[in-house]
Each structure stands twice: as structure tokens, then as C-alpha cells.
Structure 1
Amino acid sequence: MIFSSQHLLFSSLLLTGTIMSISSTSWFMAWMGLELNLMSFVPLITSKTNQYPSEAALKYFLVQALGSALIILSAPLMMDMDIFSPMLLMALLLKLGAAPFHSWFPSIMEGLNWPQCILLMTIQKIAPIFLISHLVTQTSIPEFVTFSSILSALVGSLGGLNQTSLRKILAFSSINHLSWMLIAMLLSDYSWLIYFFFYSIISASIVIFFNLQQYFFFSQLFSNPLTSFTKSFMSSFALLSLGGLPPFSGFIPKWIIIEAMAYNHMFLPLLVLIFSALITLYYYLRIAVLSLLLMTTKTKLLSPFPAQFFASYLTPSFLFFNMFGLLVPSFFLFF
């Protein structure tokens, strides 16, 4: 069962560990929160009937255990010498799945189901990224964060070009979006919080849609004859919004960060981030345009508008949020 008592227990422990990490006043309490988060997430992704989630759970446990060992090693040493701050940053980047410690993230995403992918892409990133935001004031940490951000932008954009699995495409997309959040930490806390909020909502809308349709590979988007034009229209808008194409909602946080980076004269990282965003937008456009072209047939256009579109509460809500950037200027006409 999806909402069994065990799932509710481990989900509540997952949120408790995340809240403990982001609200702790010491690295020991933060480490305890990360451990509680890890030990509650592993049972949520294991399965007795499928070996792939169990294999992904074992990989995730080993990677996160290595990151926790580095945290418990470097945190006490930081009390005497600040030279161990990069080691602590390296452990948090490993837990986060940012480059150059990203290789585990796509392989684990490939072995999970869609609901578990939502947790890995959103909730599991909250605690490490909050802890990294506390480290950016340390000496030499901004340089390492900038390097990881540039590398994550390149890896996330180039890694998704030759992928046919939708889960791996979203995994490399998540790595690319991490680059924007890491560079936003150097600007202000509000910048990366706004970006993370938009990224979580848009990613969740895409994953929920793929889960409802049971899409896992690129070819399934076009081979299903029952896919309506409305569903194809909604998924295309969500992908374009995730890619940051203006004037969709996904462009709003990118616009804020681009303006802040230009104001702080961070032109070289900004050039790399914009270049990587264009590459990620390419394989989003490849999915969206082909989907719309194949579904826009005469029979589809003449068919009645599907009633289940209005029956679902999730579909119009996500469609509205992804198109929210289009509707913002119209609100000023009422004032």
C-alpha cells in the first residue's frame, strides 16, 4: 500500500530529520538529522518485489554513509583549523549529488519509481543545501562553490543530451539546476530559496504527470495512441517551464539570479550557466515539439475535449502554475 502505516512513519521521520538538520545550531545535531533522514529514506525506496529499487537503496546508503563519515571527520577539525572547511563542503556536495560527485545520482534515479524520484529530487536536497549555505562565509569556500556550480552546469547539460530514459533526463536536469542554486547562495539566501521553490513545484508537476501516464522512456511519449492532445500540451508546457524558457514560470527564478549575477559582475559563471541552460532547453524542446507535432493530427483536433481533464484537480493546477509567468503582467491591469 502506498499510504501504509510504515510509509507514514518513515515519511514523518524523513521530515523530522530534515527539520532537525536545517534548524540545528551545531554540526553534531546537523549530522544526527542527516543520519535520521538517511535511515528513514532507505526503507521508503526498498521493494520486496522489484530488485531495482533495492539496488538503488543500497547504492544510496553507501554514498550517503561516505558523506556522513566525512562530515563527522571534518566537523571537529574545523574547530581548530579552517582548512578542513573544503572537506566538509565536499561531503555536503556528495550528499547533494552536485558535480564532481554526481555520478551516483542518475544511476539511483534510474532504479526508483516516480514517487520516490520526487523525494530524491526535492526533499532530500533541502538539508545539504541549507548546510552549504551556512558555509559560504568561510574562507575559500565561495571559490569551491563557484567551481562546483560551473562543473554541475556543464555536466547536467551535456549529460542529458544522449539519454532516452526520462528519469535520467530529469536527473541530469536536477544537477544542472543545482548549479543555479549553488551560485545563488553566494548572492543571497532569498535567491536560492525562490529558485528551489519553483524548481520543486515544476519538477513535481512533471513527475506526477509521468507517474499517472506511466511514462519511463522517451519513446513512450509518442507510441501511446491514447495520449490526448491536452495531456501532450500540458507536459510540453511543464518541460518548457522546467527548462526556463520565457515567459513560463521557470524563467522567473533564472531572471532573478541573472540580474543579481550581472549586478555583482560575475560574468564568467553567468556565461557558463546561460550556455548550459540553452543546452538543457534543447532536449526539453526536442521532447515538447515532437510530442506536440505527433499529437496535433486532424482526428485529435476534432475529438472532444477530454472530460477527465476537468475531473482531475492536479492537472489544471500544475498547468496554471507552469503558465503563471504568462499571467503575471495581466494582474497589474486590475490596479
Structure 2
Amino acid sequence: MVFPTSYFFFILTLLLGTVISVSSTSWFGAWIGLELNLMSFVPLIALKMNPSFSEAALKYFLIQALGSVLFISSSFIFLSFPTFSLLSIFSALLLKLGSAPFHFWFPQIMEGLKWPQIFLLSTIQKLAPLTLISYLMVNEILVKITILSAILSALVGSLGGLNSTLLRKITAFSSINHLSWMLTAISISDMSWLFYFSIYSIILLSITSIFHKLQTFTLSSLTQSDQNSPFHALLISLNFLSLSGLPPMTGFIPKWIIIQIMVNLNLFVPLFFLLLSTLITLYFYLRIIIFMILLFNPILNFNMKYKSFSSSPSSIFLKSSFNFIGLFLPLYLTFI
């Protein structure tokens, strides 16, 4: 079991806080939902009396508390200074998201978490702030700032993971890079970013569940795991290719839709930076994949343990099966 039974209450209140924030009709109600979400996630981080978990929980609490203070204090002055208040609320939401230029805390906290918490932090914890940002897209100034933040997030997320061999840090910068696509999609339409968020969440769920099963946090431990095999290496490689958005994998479908919309709206400058960052992230994904292929080659695998093929490959294949939908999409379109 990923979380103890006693902690399911915190998962329920975490989801409840997200629902309250999304469905609220006032900034105060949205703040209450964000606070409930925050206070429910902190116990899920500090599951054990471990220094790394305690440090990550404390850092997360302080950063989110700072964002909450900025959020609620800015909402109080909305009637007197509406433009300044909206800018401050927007900055507080970017801080809670971990988007550039407020990304400094996100990779550090991710390094102290386990894979189930990483999945929650990268998906469910971003749902409420992203929805609140979409409510602010009626202001033309905020739309331009959102696109600027998306460009910065794309550059930070792609360049930050280049020299890292830690899987959690690579996942953190990858999340920042995908956040740039979501912010761009938010400035375009609600359906596009919700579709992108859903696809990204499912792909990340398959990757984090595999890494949690193998208990790997670095590239070296990924290849030396007792439960690992060449079949696992192939599935992990395909998951990374799907996460990078390489066609014809499933991860390319939402990016393809956003690219078409941005071309129709003549958003060529932000599209250039998004595509450039995608190529850079594809580079460090390919570096992981090539590393795994080389070490799983029987000729080069002279100092490695024997990897058994019988370590329940069917369960891992089922977790990764969503990434293969894009492979059959061209075949489906030919019959329409």
C-alpha cells in the first residue's frame, strides 16, 4: 500500500480542498480551499520520521504559506487597486505552481519526496492554481504575463535538467517544462489546458508507478535494480518518449493540438521557445534511454547482475499501455 489507511483522510481532504478552490465564487473561498489543500498535503509528505521528508515538508509549508499570505492580502485590496491586486494574486498562484520565475523551490522539494508524493505534487496540487489562473485570463495584461511566464518556464525546465543524473530532479524540471505548455494553453482556451493536463497526469502516473515499484531514484540504481529487465527498460524508454512528446506517442497528441492553435493565432515567438525547450528535454530523455540500452546490452553488461524476465511484466505493461494509444491513432484515422 502506497499510503497507510489512516492517511486516506488527508487524501480526501486534499481533493476536497481542490474542489472548494475550483468551485468557489470568491477569492476568500478559493483561499480556504488552497489552505485545506496545503494542510492535507504536508502530512502526506512527512509519512515517516525522516530528515529528508521533514525538510521537504517544512520547505513546502513555508513556500505555500508565503503564497497564501500574498494571495489573501492581495484579494483584500481588490476594490481599491484592482489591477495591482490581480497582478499580486497571479504572482501568488505562480509561486504555488512552481512556475518560472518562482520555480526555485520545486526541484529542491521534489528531491526529498517519494514517487507517490511526486505524482501528487506534479498533478493534483497544480489543478487548483491552474484553474484559478484560467479565471484571470479575462485581463489582457495577465494573458501576456502568462505567455512570458510560459516562455521562462520552458527555458528553465529544459536547461535545468541537462546535467542531472537524479530521476526526481529530472522529473521536477520536466514538470516545469510541461507547465509552460499548460500556461500557454490556459491563455488560449480552457479545454486545451484541461486536455493537456489530463494526458500529462496519466503519463506521469505510469512513470512514477514504475519507479515506485523498482524503488529507483538515480540512473545507476535504475539499471542495478533486482526487479529490472530489458523489457522494463523498453517500457521505461517508451514512457520517456511519450513524456517528451515525440510522435507518434500519446504525449505528442496534446502538444500537436496546442501547436495548431498557436499557429492559427500567430503566436510564433512563444511557439519557437516551446519547441526549442521540447527538443532540449528530448535530449536528456534520450540520454537516459541510451544509457539504459547500453547497460542492458548483453555484450556490454559484463559487470551487472542478471536481470530476471519474470518480475511481473504484465502489470508494468498495463501501467504503460496508455502511452501506446498514439501509436495506433494513425491506423485509426486511415479507417475513418
2:254 corresponding residue in structure 1:
253
Distance in 1 (CA, whole Å) between partners of 2:127 and 2:18 is 7
2:289 corresponding residue in structure 1:
288
Q: Kindly provide the amino acid, as one letter, of the partner of residue 26 in structure 1.
A: S
Distance in 1 (CA, whole Å) between partners of 2:48 and 2:321 is 38
Distance in 1 (CA, whole Å) between partners of 2:177 and 2:269 is 16
Name the SS of the counterpart of 2:216 in structure 1: coil
Contact 1:86 1:144 in 2 (8 A): no
Contact 1:82 1:139 in 2 (8 A): no
Unaligned runs of 5+ in 2: 302-306
Q: Kindly provide the amino acid, as one letter, of the partner of residue 72 in structure 1.
A: I
1:63 corresponding residue in structure 2:
63
1:109 corresponding residue in structure 2:
110
Instruction: Say which is worse superposed, 249-258 or 220-229, in terms of deviation.
Output: 220-229
Name the SS of the counterpart of 2:123 in structure 1: helix
Distance in 1 (CA, whole Å) between partners of 2:137 and 2:318 is 36
1:296, distance to aligned residue in structure 2 (A): 3.5
Distance in 2 (CA, whole Å) between partners of 1:223 and 1:48 is 26
Aligned 1:224-239 pairs, distance under 5 A: 224=225, 227-239=228-240
The Cα RMSD (Å) is: 2.0
1:12 corresponding residue in structure 2:
12
1:143, distance to aligned residue in structure 2 (A): 1.4
How many percent of aligned residue pairs carry the same amino acid? Answer: 53
Q: Deviation per CA, 1:174-216: give whole Å up to 9, x if none.
A: 0000000001111111111111011111111111111111110
1:198 corresponding residue in structure 2:
199
The structure-2 alpha-carbon separation of the partners of 1:321 and 1:148, relative to structure 1 and needing over 3 Å to count, comes to same
Q: Kindly provide the amino acid, as one letter, of the partner of residue 118 in structure 1.
A: F
1:214 corresponding residue in structure 2:
215
1:156, distance to aligned residue in structure 2 (A): 0.3
Q: Kindly provide the amino acid, as one letter, of the partner of residue 308 in structure 1.
A: S
Distance in 2 (CA, whole Å) between partners of 1:3 and 1:276 is 35
1:76 equivalent to 2:76? Answer yes
Aligned 1:300-315 pairs, distance under 5 A: 306=310, 308-310=312-314, 312=315, 315=316
1:34 corresponding residue in structure 2:
34
1:224, distance to aligned residue in structure 2 (A): 3.9
Distance in 2 (CA, whole Å) between partners of 1:327 and 1:48 is 43
Distance in 1 (CA, whole Å) between partners of 2:247 and 2:272 is 18
TM-score, normalised by the number of residues in structure 2: 0.94
The structure-2 alpha-carbon separation of the partners of 1:83 and 1:299, relative to structure 1 and needing over 3 Å to count, comes to closer
Q: Kindly provide the amino acid, as one letter, of the partner of residue 232 in structure 2.
A: K
Unaligned runs of 5+ in 1: none
Contact 2:294 2:300 in 1 (8 A): no
Q: Kindly provide the amino acid, as one letter, of the partner of residue 79 in structure 1.
A: L
Distance in 2 (CA, whole Å) between partners of 1:45 and 1:38 is 11
Aligned residues: 331
1:47, distance to aligned residue in structure 2 (A): 3.6
Contact 1:150 1:272 in 2 (8 A): yes
Name the SS of the counterpart of 2:219 in structure 1: coil
1:316, distance to aligned residue in structure 2 (A): 2.2
The structure-2 alpha-carbon separation of the partners of 1:91 and 1:231, relative to structure 1 and needing over 3 Å to count, comes to same
Distance in 2 (CA, whole Å) between partners of 1:54 and 1:44 is 11
